[in-house]
Amino acid sequence: MNYTAEDEILIQQAWDKLAESCKKICKKEEDWNFIKRAFFLAKEAHQGVRRRSGEPYFLHPIAVAQIVVDEIGLGVKSVAASLLHDVVEDTDYTVEDMEHIFGPKIASMVDGLTKMSGVFNADTSRQAEYFRKVLLTLSDDVRVILIKIADRLHNMRTLGSMPQNKQVKITGETIYLFAPLAYRLGLFAIKTELENLCMKYRFPKEYEEITRQISESEAAREEYIRKFNAPIIEALDKNGIKYEITGRVKSTYSIWTKMVQKQIPFSEIYDLFAIRIVFQPLDFPSEKTQCWQIYSSITDIYTPKPDRLRDWISMPKANGYEALHSTVMGPDGVWVEVQIRTQRMDEIAERGFAAHWKYKHATISHDEDEFDKWLKMIRAALDSPTQNAVDFLDNFKLSLYTSEIPVFTPKGESRRLPYGATALDFAYDVHTKIGNSAIGAKINHKIMPITTPLNSGDQVEIITAESARPKAEWLDHAFTTKAKQAIKNFLKREQEHNLQHGMQLLDEKLAALGITPNNRVIRKLIEAYESSNKDELYTKIGAGIVSLDNLDKVVRTNSNFKILKFWTLFIKDNDEEGDEEYSDDKKHNKESQDSHNLVVAECCHPLPGDSVVGFKDPITHQIIVHKATCDELNRLASQHGECIVKEEIKWSQLKTQSSLATIEVKGIDRMGLLVDLANVVTNDFSINMREINIHTHDGIFEGTLSLYVRDAESLNAVLDRMRRIKGMDTVKRRIN
């Protein structure tokens, strides 16, 4: 079926717009002809096909190419690959056809953008395998990743036509992998838009409310920015600097994230905007010197906050970002962030990787910079990928950390680690052998445990011993991909040895007792020795964790089966016309029937009344119910999106048992505070308290209360009442 005349008009308009944008990258007629060939082949291949929204499918590749050239700044081959990126996957054309028509480079790029089919390990995730394939292209051509990000951005812009379960899957993938990846590649504007779109579709009410509040405060905000900027403009003009000064509002997603994490209202978000100064540098002195001169002019006007100075000019971020950030006290006692950067720095900040390479190759020096070092590290990790694609994806996600700290070797060599890294991460960053044999560290010349978290500027020396070996608990303290993978590899080798040794020991012991090791016996041992499967049982025996001294007694004892308790939830079929068609008895039966296989996630502990999403475990087939805001849900959606439950999950109207919730409190210490807290819980709300843990220091109290509550609404009522207690500063529900 061919496209209609109206469709052809839409396609021609999109093509005309793309053609206009391509003028800046087509240096010769041959470049333009190359793009046209890709356009006409892709148009013919997708002829008559439509998207779920009803529009011609071919508008999607054109839109991806438009993003690639306008918003990322890539060249001719990337535009052609964008136009062709779905041809091999969705039509009869093959990768070999692409190579024959467009050459090996385009064929390789299109292949990297094509989903895999028929080559998946049945025991792993199709999504994780696909992402693994795409990410492996980092070893060859980073442009494939950039085109994939453009593809995801356009899909997110048109997500409204997809069903709710698909929206959860796609937004989960996006927030877990694509947004951090866009940031890591320096695409800050795209990263911000991806995050905002995720919020728009997952939490539409919250998105609309925050957007409305930002809009309503716009006039007052702009007036304040004018007042703040006036003396700065006067100083810059006086010094003859060519510049542009703007006010940048914090993104909707960023505001919402802070509100959720701190459990505070919009009115308490004070850093809603930042001032950005982008200037045209002089030939002399250096860019760095000129940035500091502008900083000096500003701090002559406004007092800076010493602990909020960020110098990313002397030590740029790994994604190439360079700027000078400072927070100063503005008029009316408001802290304002000021960002200072040159035009070159600004283009790299907005265009990321493409601008980074443009400026890098425009200079004589091609020295390895922070971005090159990160890319080199990723390629090294990808050269020996793990067999488990899910582990691979999780490990890659760890490399996308956004906050970094510089630390130093004993000889003064600078190394960058993610914020939150420990001395253990440093040891593995130096060398895997150093990490595997580490027993401690000298941090700033003081002996400390190997698990000690590092701070910016620490000087670290690793203490090793030949007899030392990695421990399983190290995984709880390792932060970087390299450290986690090295520890896992060592433990895996050790586990395989222990498994074989344990199997041999058990067989010998059972033979000595005259017992045949059948499935019934093994199941009984797995339960008795608190193992999840037979491999874990053998490993524990081989490692000496489990003693077989009482084996005869265990085997001949009747098993005790554990009883699992489930929350009362039910699946509401979205195809039903309405509950009014069912009698109360029928609804009760439906709820009872559909709730038996639903369990509440341990990672986020949703309460009745919380917005929840169901995930069907691919192994146990149980439906695990997560809070809609759960980070673990995003991780699962990025790996097993097909397991997101299509039907809506609701809390049953049947009476449910109380749930345990933990509240974090902090404020000014005073006499009688504990009594006031107890009165709110026991007298005002008649709630049972499981545990209270409050401690004070320097006139400040902080701690936690564990309460049994009926649902999210009753918990919120308790929180609101506690916030009114004299001296209380922070009252919030612990998220996990």
3-state class of 314 per DSSP? coil
Work out whether strand 243-249 and strand 273-279 pair parallel, antiparallel, or are unpaired. antiparallel
Q: Given the structure tokens 């006007």, which residue do they identify?
A: 301
Q: Judge whether 89 counts as a catalytic residue.
A: yes
The whole-angstrom separation of Cα 109 and Cα 80 is: 10
Closest CA to 339 of 309, 318, 376: 309
DSSP string covering 266-281: GGG----EEEEEEE--
- Measured between alpha carbons, how far is residue 719 from residues 256, 258, 664, 672, 723 in Å? 19, 18, 10, 19, 6
ω into 304 cis (within 30 of 0): no
Q: Judge whether 90 counts as a catalytic residue.
A: yes
Count of C-beta atoms within a 10 Å radius of residue 120: 15
CA angle (683 as vertex; 682, 688 as ends), nearest 5: 20
Residues in the chain: 736
Report H helices in 364-480: 370-382, 389-398, 423-430, 432-436
618: amino acid identity, one letter: P
554: amino acid identity, one letter: V
The whole-angstrom separation of Cα 523 and Cα 534 is: 8
- Measured between alpha carbons, how far is residue 429 from residues 19, 336, 565, 598 in Å? 47, 37, 45, 43
The whole-angstrom separation of Cα 485 and Cα 383 is: 13
Q: Pick the catalytic residue from 7, 31, 70, 90.
A: 90
Q: In degrees rounded to 5, what are phi and psi of residue 230?
A: -50, -55
The whole-angstrom separation of Cα 167 and Cα 198 is: 9
Q: Pick the catalytic residue from 8, 20, 44, 89.
A: 89
3-state class of 442 per DSSP? strand
DSSP string covering 467-489: T----GGGGGT--SHHHHHHHHH
- Measured between alpha carbons, how far is residue 636 from residues 66, 368, 485, 494, 602 in Å? 31, 36, 20, 29, 14
Tokens (6 digits) for 335: 């802290």
Closest CA to 95 of 83, 86, 107: 107
Tokens (6 digits) for 135: 């990410």
Tokens (6 digits) for 555: 């085997």
DSSP string covering 509-528: HHHHHT----HHHHHHHHHH
What is the gyration radius of the CA atoms in the chain, in angstroms? 30
> Helices 104-112 and 142-157 sit at what angle, rounded to 10 degrees?
50
The whole-angstrom separation of Cα 93 and Cα 87 is: 6
User: What 8-state DSSP symbol labels residue 50?
Assistant: B
CA 476 to chain centre: 18
CA 307 to chain centre: 27
53: amino acid identity, one letter: S
Active site residues: 89-90
